[in-house]
Chain A
Amino acid sequence: MTVTALLFASYAEALGSDRLELAFPGSATVGEVVAQLRALPGGAALPPSPLVAVNLTYARADQRVANGDEVAIIPPVAGG
């Protein structure tokens, strides 16, 4: 199963990319996607429980992700 992780702002800089394809042997949760990102070089910049959106909607860490899902890791927002 593969998901697309989207990274923004400081997180994209830390990991050196704004888009990464991540593969999982079986199913995975949002939390497991985050854990895989945190294990990458520069991944320590991500907190253990960042804000995450799956397919454009905010999601909890225990939510399951499906093949092809777009999992966005959202840094602390600063709009306005």
Chain B
Amino acid sequence: MSIRSAIVRRAIDVAALLAEVQETANGATVAFVGHVREVNDGRAVTGIEYSAYGEMAERELAAIASECASAYGIAHLAIEHRLGTLTLGEASIAIVVAHAHRAPAYEASRFIIEEVKRRLPIWKREGYVDGSSEWVNASGVPQAGAAQEHRT
């Protein structure tokens, strides 16, 4: 049994997470990696700053991992969510799930990312090529007008 989740402030090493869940009983390993995309809602993005209610985010992520393990019979999974300023292409989250068979592994991976999006107290502020930045809401759309900030 290897169930681990962490909020980190360094680059995510996906290969290390894959190695962590390796076990000959598992016939399937699913890795999901979320990273910073160059365009959001039609605007050119330069990077994203992730912030969190750290203590609660750690707890919620651990709860999601534990619920996932029970619901899908997963004995080997690793999740890391990164905070801080990320540039284009950098991984903000990696979810690695291993199981004897592929179906539970895929379902468990999907469950984790959807729960993260629904309840993990983490926020992101997108920076754009024009120098402005905005908080992004749960649907991934910048909050127009709200807390908008322009670099001087």
Within 8 A of A (CB), among B87-104: 92-93
Chain A residues, CB < 8 A from B55: 56
Q: Is A61 an interface residue (CB 8 A)?
A: no
Is the beta-carbon distance between A9 and B51 smaller than 8 angstroms?
Answer: yes
- Number of residues on chain B facing chain A (CB within 8 A): 32
Q: Is B111 an interface residue (CB 8 A)?
A: no
Chain A residues, CB < 8 A from B76: none
Known: A8-B123, A45-B147, A56-B59. Contact between A78 and B53, CB under 8 A? no
Alpha-carbon distance A58/B143, docked complex (angstroms): 23
Is the beta-carbon distance between B93 and A79 smaller than 8 angstroms?
Answer: yes
Is the beta-carbon distance between A78 and B124 smaller than 8 angstroms?
Answer: yes
Interface of B (DSSP majority class):
mixed
Q: Which range holds the interface residue count of chain A?
A: 10 to 19
State which of A10, A77, A79 has its C-beta within 8 Å of the C-beta of B147.
A10
Within 8 A of A (CB), among B103-151: 113, 116-125, 135-138, 140, 143, 146-147, 149
Q: Is A76 an interface residue (CB 8 A)?
A: yes
- Can you report 18 A-B residue pairs in the complex whose CB atoms are below 8 A from each other? A8-B51, A8-B53, A9-B123, A9-B147, A14-B146, A56-B56, A56-B59, A72-B56, A75-B123, A75-B135, A76-B137, A77-B122, A78-B117, A78-B124, A78-B137, A78-B138, A80-B81, A80-B113
Q: A9-B147, A78-B138, A80-B116 are in contact. List 7 more A-B contacts (CB 8 A).
A: A56-B59, A58-B119, A72-B53, A74-B53, A77-B119, A78-B122, A80-B34
Is the beta-carbon distance between A9 and B113 smaller than 8 angstroms?
Answer: no
Q: Is A6 an interface residue (CB 8 A)?
A: yes
